[in-house]
Structure 1
């Protein structure tokens, strides 16, 4: 049997991470994986999370199975945090999942079981795992444009492309801090998207993985909440990896909104059945931590303070890199970076230039140009800016080096 197995494609992010680990240069810089790092280069456990873990340990609660929907207190907390109380939350169902990727897959399976062969639209470029997850669930994937030639949100192109989406198609939208570009639509474009979804009859599918790390928690959730109030049906995949720092605890939530409570009568069971065949039930620890934090006023306030501090550090890294690039005579590139938000930034470099950045300067980002701005030590900002400027200077005059755009989503 095994001799018939063809060589499968490697995961590009983990392949780069392995290459970084094998690089013996002491100055090497890893900006590949999307994890928050503090100034020392570590990924800290948030104080609110640590306190919640201590309280849970003191309770010594049973390790008995929670059930197919996971931790119900966590599910309620996710609905309250993302949708608020009342309104859209009253016509929503939530189940705990194995992180945000698990929520994406569970909801993709729900779509396929409900309407096999459904077309799901994703941005181009997109999060590296969007297409594989959707296609593995048996769905058809189409793309809509995201960036214009200057690296801004192509809002007119986005609306033009999605005008082709048909009734009952699904459109996957990142709720904030777009991965990999760091470029989000304006509030006016979000309003236009809501109107287009309502009139055309396609279903928004919102991926929420970075809320709190862009413009602040409430601002980052505004588009998702607006869509929930405007459309009859909606899907939301939520991750707690980034804003709670629970990367290895794999904590997420899948949310389905219907036109009424009655329309949801079979949804939770369908999600449970899908989960049963994928992973049976999700892990308890991270969900219990999040529920403990969000249900306690003091811990919730501490978490919000820590989250704001993380966001502030990310903003400082990005603005510092933009200033350094401007000082090196790269004002266009600096302006483009300064407009972005969230954990990731898209460098204005082609795949060949990113390879040169890696080979010549020991700086690791994805071939498509994405770097994890949240993993950049402050003392290395100048080094990164110099590397970017040097690579651009090397290619000055080459036609293919001008206006370099990110690679398509499936090439990242």
Structure 2
């Protein structure tokens, strides 16, 4: 059997990581990998996470299985964080998942299970793994225009024209905040227009919320997701704890299925449990326990929120510094959009050839479409990057 297996295309970001590791230059800069790094280039364990893990170590008495949907206390804590009081708790079915990716995968499985004919509309561009999973599941995909490379903002007119082609039962995949890979986001008025379009066409929204707290703050970053959930008859939300809690390797996520008709919640819950059973049975629990401990303890929650805010502000400061340095180096404001973007990522607007030039000449690594991780910078490397961009004629 094994000889009949076909080689799979290599993941471009993982390939980039390996190339970076193999580069002997000591002044190289990694802007490719999608994890938060502090000024020292480390991905630290947050203070509240350390405290919560210590508490679990002292008090946990068993490692037996939890339920198929995970610990209900974790679901409750995450629903409160993401949705607040936007919808009644009785309207939300939730399943713990292995990370945000697991939540995305289970959402796609649920869509395929409930409506095999559904098309999934995805932004152009989107997180590559969205497309990879959809293609693996052989689900029909339609792209909608999103990023305007000329302005560095959202091509909102194109987006609205494209999602208006959705049919009842189709799914519109939306980034709740901090769009990956572009960093360009919709404003509140535009979000309302998207909601109105989905209500008109009968499309179902699926929100991927991977960066709550990394953009404009915990509450502000949840606003669009709450607007969608409150307005739509049904909504899917895939939430991740990897970034805002810094627990990447613990694989901690949650899938929420929301219905305006609470009588549908038990069936949705049972279906999520069934899908979990088919894929991995019981979800991971350690990260979920850590998150629950933090969110349900006022002192730990305040400390976590404070450290998360420091992280958010540091990225905003780096964005502004880079935009200012580029203005000085190039004598133009064409990179001002970098300060307006939110989250870890921005698309620089460079060609693959220019991206390769930055790597070859300066040891600056970013994804071939010019997506760069702002959190890979620090105050010392920002001027280096700005000079390299100007010298490359980008």
Query: Shared topology, TM-score over 0.5?
Result: yes
- Which deviates more, 130-139 or 250-259? 130-139
Aligned to 1:242: 243
8 Å contact 2:29–2:376 — kept in the other structure? Answer: no
- What are the residue-to-residue correspondences of 1:216-231 with 2, within 5 Å? 216-231=217-232
Secondary structure (helix, strand or coil) at the match of 1:334 reads: coil
Secondary structure (helix, strand or coil) at the match of 2:147 reads: coil
Aligned to 2:290: 289
Residue 330 to residue 5, structure 1, CA distance change in 2 (3 Å):
farther
Aligned to 1:264: 265
Instruction: Give the superposition deviation at 1:206.
Output: 0.1
Residue 43 in 1 paired to residue 43 in 2? yes
Question: What CA distance in whole angstroms lies between the structure 2 residues aligned with 1:368 and 1:162?
Answer: 24
Question: What CA distance in whole angstroms lies between the structure 2 residues aligned with 1:391 and 1:128?
Answer: 27
Aligned to 1:172: 173
Aligned to 1:6: 6
8 Å contact 1:16–1:364 — kept in the other structure? Answer: yes
Question: What CA distance in whole angstroms lies between the structure 2 residues aligned with 1:88 and 1:180?
Answer: 32
Question: What CA distance in whole angstroms lies between the structure 2 residues aligned with 1:111 and 1:237?
Answer: 13
Question: What RMSD over aligned residues (CA atoms) do the two structures have, in Å?
Answer: 1.2
Residue 118 in 1 paired to residue 118 in 2? yes
Q: Compute the TM-score of the two structures, normalised by the length of structure 1.
A: 0.93
Aligned to 2:159: 158
Unmatched segments (≥5 aa) in structure 1? 394-412
Instruction: Give the superposition deviation at 1:330.
Output: 4.7
- Which deviates more, 364-373 or 142-151? 142-151
Question: What CA distance in whole angstroms lies between the structure 2 residues aligned with 1:272 and 1:60?
Answer: 25
Question: What CA distance in whole angstroms lies between the structure 1 residues aligned with 2:299 and 2:389?
Answer: 43
Aligned to 2:59: 59
Unmatched segments (≥5 aa) in structure 2? none
Secondary structure (helix, strand or coil) at the match of 2:64 reads: coil
Instruction: Give the superposition deviation at 1:334.
Output: 2.3
Instruction: Give the superposition deviation at 1:88.
Output: 4.2
8 Å contact 1:88–1:228 — kept in the other structure? Answer: no
- Which deviates more, 251-260 or 1-10? 1-10
Instruction: Give the superposition deviation at 1:260.
Output: 1.4
Aligned to 1:215: 216
Residue 88 to residue 361, structure 1, CA distance change in 2 (3 Å):
farther
Secondary structure (helix, strand or coil) at the match of 2:335 reads: helix
Secondary structure (helix, strand or coil) at the match of 2:333 reads: helix
Q: Compute the TM-score of the two structures, normalised by the length of structure 2.
A: 0.97
Secondary structure (helix, strand or coil) at the match of 1:264 reads: helix
Aligned residues: 393
Q: C-alpha deviations, 1:310-340, integer Å up to 9, x for none? A: 0000001111111110010252332121221
8 Å contact 2:93–2:266 — kept in the other structure? Answer: no
8 Å contact 1:122–1:172 — kept in the other structure? Answer: yes
- What are the residue-to-residue correspondences of 1:15-94 with 2, within 5 Å? 15-85=15-85, 87-94=87-94
Residue 88 to residue 194, structure 1, CA distance change in 2 (3 Å):
farther
Aligned to 1:312: 313
Q: C-alpha deviations, 1:134-169, integer Å up to 9, x for none? A: 222331111001122322111111111111111110
- What are the residue-to-residue correspondences of 1:354-393 with 2, within 5 Å? 354-392=355-393
8 Å contact 2:145–2:158 — kept in the other structure? Answer: yes
8 Å contact 1:48–1:293 — kept in the other structure? Answer: yes
- Which deviates more, 337-346 or 163-172? 337-346
Q: C-alpha deviations, 1:352-384, integer Å up to 9, x for none? A: 111111111111110011111012122111111
8 Å contact 1:91–1:264 — kept in the other structure? Answer: yes
Q: C-alpha deviations, 1:269-326, integer Å up to 9, x for none? A: 2111211221222111100000000000111111110110000000011111111100
Question: What CA distance in whole angstroms lies between the structure 2 residues aligned with 1:90 and 1:126?
Answer: 32
Question: What CA distance in whole angstroms lies between the structure 2 residues aligned with 1:41 and 1:313?
Answer: 13
Secondary structure (helix, strand or coil) at the match of 1:173 reads: strand
